Structure formats: structure tokens, C-alpha cells
Amino acid sequence: QVQLVESGGGLVQAGGSLRLSCAASGLTFSNYAMGWFRQAPGKEREFVAAISWSGISTSSAESLKGRFTISRDNAKNTVYLQMNSLKPEDTAVYYCAARERRITRRENEYDYWGQGTQVTVSS
């Protein structure tokens, strides 16, 4: 019954921006830390960013700091990933995840996952 549904992916030109959304249902959203992961073709899934239940604490992959920003709106049960200055190497399926604990970068510590949304960045 717990569902995480990502949206906002698509095809963008290098240098452009996208804002991904993840709408949660079936859980008390404000009790969950949220995270974003991505998996590019031929590569393992990697951590992108995470945010605590309160939104006070955030964590981002070092290589993405300055371009990607995570945020949440507990009133809307939604977490966002703002992606700026996109590069072809950002092409991947982006996954939203939820954890009823404090934020973590470890994917195996998340409790629930969305189906993913495709982001393709053209050169």
C-alpha cells in the first residue's frame, strides 16, 4: 500500500534543468527520511541526495553538489530533486526512496522505493 511515485523526468539538452518529484502515499511522510538514487546504463545504482524528515539535514553526492538540490514539502507529501546544469553523464533512471530513520547514503538501508523515472540529457 506504500507507494512512491516519481515524475518530472524526460529528455533535456545539456545545460538545462529538470525538477523531479516523488509523491508518497500509504505512510506518514513526515516520519520518513527521503533519498534519491540513480542508475545509469551499465553502471551500479548510486546515491544522489537525501533529506531528513524535518528537512533540516541534507546530504548530497560530492560530485553533484552545486548542481543538484533536494527539498521536501511535508504538507504535500512530496520530495523534490532540482537538477541544474545537466550533463550527458547525468542520464539515468532516478529512484525515490523512503526510510523511517535518519538520513543515509546506503541504498540497502531504505525501506521503500519508487519505480523510477528516466532522465536523458542530450549533448
Spell out a b/e string for 39-50, using b for 16 or more CB atoms within 10 Å of the CB, else e.
Answer: eeeeeeeebbbb
Q: Return the pLDDT at 29.
A: 87
Q: Return the pLDDT at 101.
A: 83
Q: Return the pLDDT at 96.
A: 98
Q: Return the pLDDT at 22.
A: 97
Higher-confidence position of 82 and 29? 82
Q: Return the pLDDT at 111.
A: 95
Is the distance from CB of 116 to CB of 97 less than 8 angstroms? no
Per-residue pLDDT reduced to its tens digit, 49-99: 999 988 999 999 999 989 999 999 999 999 999 999 999 999 999 999 999
Per-residue pLDDT reduced to its tens digit, 11-28: 999 999 999 999 999 988
Q: Return the pLDDT at 28.
A: 87
